[in-house]
Each structure stands twice: as C-alpha cells, then as structure tokens.
Amino acid sequence: MTQTVESENPEVPTTPRDTAPADRARGISAPSRIPAALKRRIPKYSDLAPLIQFKKPEFSRAARLQQASTLWELRDMAKRRTPQAPFDYTDGAAEAEITLRRAREAFVDIEFRPGILRDVSSVDLGTNILGRTSRLPVGIAPTGFTRMMQSEGEYAGSQAAEAAGIPYTLSTMGTASIEDVAEAAPRGRNWFQLYLWTDRDRSLELIERAAKAGNDTLMVTVDTPVAGARLRDVRNGMTIPPGLTLKTVLDASYRPAWWFNFLTHEPLTFASLSRYTGTVADLINSMFDPTLTFDDLDWLRETWKGNLVVKGIQTVDDARKVVDHGADGVVLSNHGGRQLDRAPIPLHLLPEVAQAFKADNSDAAIILDTGIMSGADIIAALALGADFTLIGRAYLYGLMAGGRAGVDRALQILEKDMTRTMALLGASKLSELTPDHVRILGR
C-alpha cells in the first residue's frame, strides 16, 4: 500500500489519495492537476510591455544596404535602381549565357566536409598574393565602363578596396584614368589590366603610366581576340555612352536618381582613350589585336618590371605556357561568360592547374574569377588550390545598389561569409584549407 507523505510546504499540494473504488469500477480516474504556469489568464500590461518594441522605420540608403545579407539581395536592389541597358551589360553574358549559369552552378555543386573539435575562436583571412599581404583572399577584378553602372564607378571600387586592404584592378576600358584612381586611393594596392592593342605605342604608353602611378601588377587579358555575342546588349541597343532613345527615356522615369547622377557628372572618359561613341563590340573589334601570340607575352615581360599576370586562362597547357613565358601568375577565367559561351568553368579547371603547377614545382600564383556570389564560394576555390580570387559582378551589384557604400557592403557580406564558413569547416587560417574540405558533386 502506498503511503502518502504530507508536505511541510503549504503551497505544495499533497499527493492525491487513491481514487475511490466505485470510481475505479466506472473507469473514472483521479483528475490531473494543471500546473499553475499552464492556467490561462488575462495578461497584464506590465507583462506585455517588454515584448512590444516598435522600431522606428528607416528608409535611408544606408539602412537598406545594411538589410542586405547576400550579394543576391544587392543584385535585386541594383536592378531596381539602374536602367535596363547598363544593368544588363553588367548582369548578362554571351549568347545563351550557358557559361555564366554553369560557373555559378559549379559553386552550388560544392559539398563541404568540415572538421570538428578545432579551435576556431579566431579566424584569420589574410594571405600573401604576388609578394604583398591582402587582408582578404579576394580582390576587385577589372571592369569596363564602370561609371556607366553608377556615377562613382572606379573611385568607389578603388576606395572600398583600399579601406578593406585588398587589391583593386583598373581596366583599360575603365572610366577613370590611371592617375585619377591612384589619387583617389593613394594607400591602396592598385593593379592595372591591359588589353594589347594593334597600336603597340599606345599599349606602351599605358604600361609606362601604370608604372609611374605606382601599380605593382600588370594583368594582361588574352581572351578577347574578338568581341563575344552579348545578346542582351544587342537587344537593348546598348552604346557607349548610353543614348537617349524613347525606350531609355521611359526607363529613366522609373530611375530618376541614376539619370540625374549620370547627366550631372563629367561625361564618361577612359583610361585609354578620351572619347568613344558606339557599341562595345565595335570598340573591341576595332581596337584589340586578334594576331596576338606568345611572342607578345615575351615583349610584355621584357617591358614590364613588376608582377605580370595573364588573365583568361582556360586550359592547363596554356597555364603552363604563359608561366614558361614569364608570367608570375594566371587568372583562370572565361571573362565572366561574356566571350565564348560553353567555355570551360574555372572552378572545374582549378584542381588540374593546381596539380600541374605542383608537378612543375612552379610558384606562380593561381587566381580565379567567374561565378563567385558568396564568401563560401571563395573558400571553396581556395580549398581546391586557388591562391586568390577576383570579383567583378559581385562588387558591381553593390556599386549599383548604393555607390561606395554598396561596394563596402558587398565586401562586408563576403568577409562575414568567409569567416563563418572557415569556422564551420574547422579552419582558423587559409593555409589549413585543403582539397579534403570540399567535394564537387557529380564529378
């Protein structure tokens, strides 16, 4: 027989006595006691007050940028703020845009393999690239006509890179001069990207200006013998500078801030020529040299005394050849999918190039671009053998979304992504990343 123990605390109920035999016979059990915390009651204002916290709505550009948690959200903002022709020039690629889609899908198909029980209380994203330290393993890639996307253009990009402690690359087709960028970001690490022209004297002039302005790296792009078929630009009637047609005027009515900035700032000027009017394809086809060979790379190596990097490498053999001809580094890139559609995907090519350079005992830098849309993408590339990465569209989305502040926000998002991904992988510094941390699904 169970004995009931009386509680000494009057607020604690005693254990109920046995149900009466008659009740048990009828299947009636003793009523269960409802805990006080589960009894319904009318809430007091003092209970609700701490839960009701109305936040004053903020409609400033800075507040909107801070609400963006991904580069895709910055892209959405950029699309709302930018006319269709310059937005599509940035966002689009060649022909059916298969290459760009595959490049992004390659990062989606990465499976991470984390290590556990590692001390990741502090994560260091610093690295050495081409003889100098970069605070993050990513730099800003060369992009043409950048002030067309947003009036701050190269000035915003170079200053944001300077503040972040990473390299900035000015394009031959940039809409700010070599000297102006150096003045805008005097403490930044500025690189210059070169398209070799049919006029070698003009190319030599640019090289000399880049050296005089303090650029320590020359990045020659070799994947543009002719212009790719960028069909969005064709459909939009895209010209440099954008023309005022009925379509663009209607488009401007939805984006007055862009047009106000565009029309009230200095007309577009270029690092390499003072004025140009026409399509991008016409400009490329009229100025760039389709007869380039490895002999021209030898000439560049003799002419340029700083770091020489070759951008547009899409095969292992070509990666090896340019190093044999004096390149200090290669950029595995298909021009963001803007030249040859169905081109090789840099992330897929990366392990083969890394293995080939290791077999050759080569210390040439392996840099990767195309398809990067998150910090996790960057970490995956580094684990697979890249020494460094570059972003083009990713930072331009921030630029179009909010000028300099938008570029800052894009870099903040990437840094936060990288730090979190590293910690979850169990790596506290980049040198701890190995191919064992990732697997490319389906390969």
The yes-or-no answer on residue 437 being catalytic is no
Cβ atoms within 10 A of the Cβ of 393, count?
25
CB-based contact 168:143 (threshold 8 Å): no
The answer for residues whose C-beta is within 8 angstroms of residue 402's C-beta and 6 or more apart is 61, 62, 64, 65, 77, 409
- Rounded (5°) CA angle 322-325-326: 95
| Residue of 325, 335, 348, 437 with catalytic role | 335
CB within 8 Å of 88: residues ≥ 6 apart: 232, 233, 236, 238
Write the CA distances from 439 to 110, 112, 378, 419, 443, integer angstroms.
6, 6, 14, 20, 8
Q: How many residues in the chain?
A: 443
Amino acid at 225: P
Annotated active-site positions, please?
A: 335
